[in-house]
Amino acid sequence: MSSPEHQQSPALIRPAFSELQASELVESVFGLKVTQIQPLPSYVDQNFLVQVPRASKASGDPLKYVLKVNNTESSKNSDLVEVQSHIVMFLKAEGFPTATVHPTKGGSLTSLMSVDSGSETRSYLVRLFSFLPGKPIAQVPVTPKLLYEVGKLAAQMDRSLEKFHHPKISSLHRGDFIWNLRNVPLLEKYTYALGQGKNREMVDWVLKRFNDEIVPKLSCFRELVMLRTSTFL
């Protein structure tokens, strides 16, 4: 159990769309008829794997997409979500195996959906991405060669993103964002979740080394964009 200070912020409400609601959303916003839908893992957003039929004259398996519904807090920052979408599109154009963003019926990359929850109206930004088949790295044997390839791909993405420009790119700079590597020390307040044992000892050791050896040198490192991909957390 978590203590009160570790409870989720009241401002951040995770979406709770049913599969039927998500199917209707895909049809009304993106103009696609859903034949099959299932939930996907997520952290604070909500994701669905969606199947739609191909055009009547096209052959092959149904098309697959990922419907992403942002939580209420990130849905307030439309500039950030827009930049994230354009980064995905930029990397796709650069030849990286990233998803594509499927536009709404009106040609936008996102749509803001307002939902009456009874006591209040909540708004969620929704997007539709093409589905990338594959296995998460956690589900395959980890080898030195695999780790090398992952590192090589990350370096190539970093180099390509040096060329990325967008008028709202400053929205990526969030001071206390937990996924910013600059903010590793913020993880200290969550280590309680590990309980006591070797995992906790290892994490505490890493955090201490980060505070002692990295924090004093942070100004020497070049900042870069880090994407969370897989199922789009």
| Dist CA 172 CA 45 (whole Å) | 18
Res 87: pLDDT? 93
- The hierarchical CATH code for the domain 11-135 is 3.30.200.20
Its pTM stands at 0.77
Q: Shortest CA distance to 67 belongs to which of 97, 11, 28, 9?
A: 28
Q: Could you give the C-alpha distances from 133 to 111, 120, 169, in angstroms and in order? A: 25, 38, 29
pLDDT in tens, 52-100: 988 766 666 789 999 999 999 889 989 999 999 999 999 999 999 899 9
Give how far Cα 222 sits from Cα of 87, 182, 225, Å: 19, 11, 10
**pLDDT per residue of the chain (233 residues) written in tens, 0 to 9:** 344 334 445 557 889 899 999 999 999 999 999 999 999 988 889 999 999 988 766 666 789 999 999 999 889 989 999 999 999 999 999 999 899 999 999 999 999 998 887 778 899 999 999 999 888 887 889 899 999 999 999 899 989 999 999 999 888 877 777 777 788 888 888 888 888 888 899 999 999 999 998 888 888 887 665 555 443 33
CB 25 within 8 A of CB 17: yes
In angstroms, rounded to a whole number, what is the distance separating the alpha carbons of residues 46 and 28? 18
- Intra-chain end-to-end CA distance of the chain, in Å: 23
Q: Using the Cα atoms of residue 151, residue 157, residue 160 and residue 166 in order, give the sign of their dihedral.
A: negative
**Predicted pLDDT of residue 58:** 62
What 3-state class would DSSP assign to 80? helix
Cα-based torsion angle of the residue sequence 193, 195, 198, 204 in order, rounded to the nearest 10 degrees:
60
What is the spatial distance between Cα 38 and Cα 2, in angstroms, rounded to a whole number? 29
Pairing status of strand 36-40 against strand 46-52:
antiparallel
State the pLDDT at residue 63.
Answer: 92
Report how far residue 30's alpha carbon sits from residue 102's, in angstroms, rounded to the nearest whole number. 8
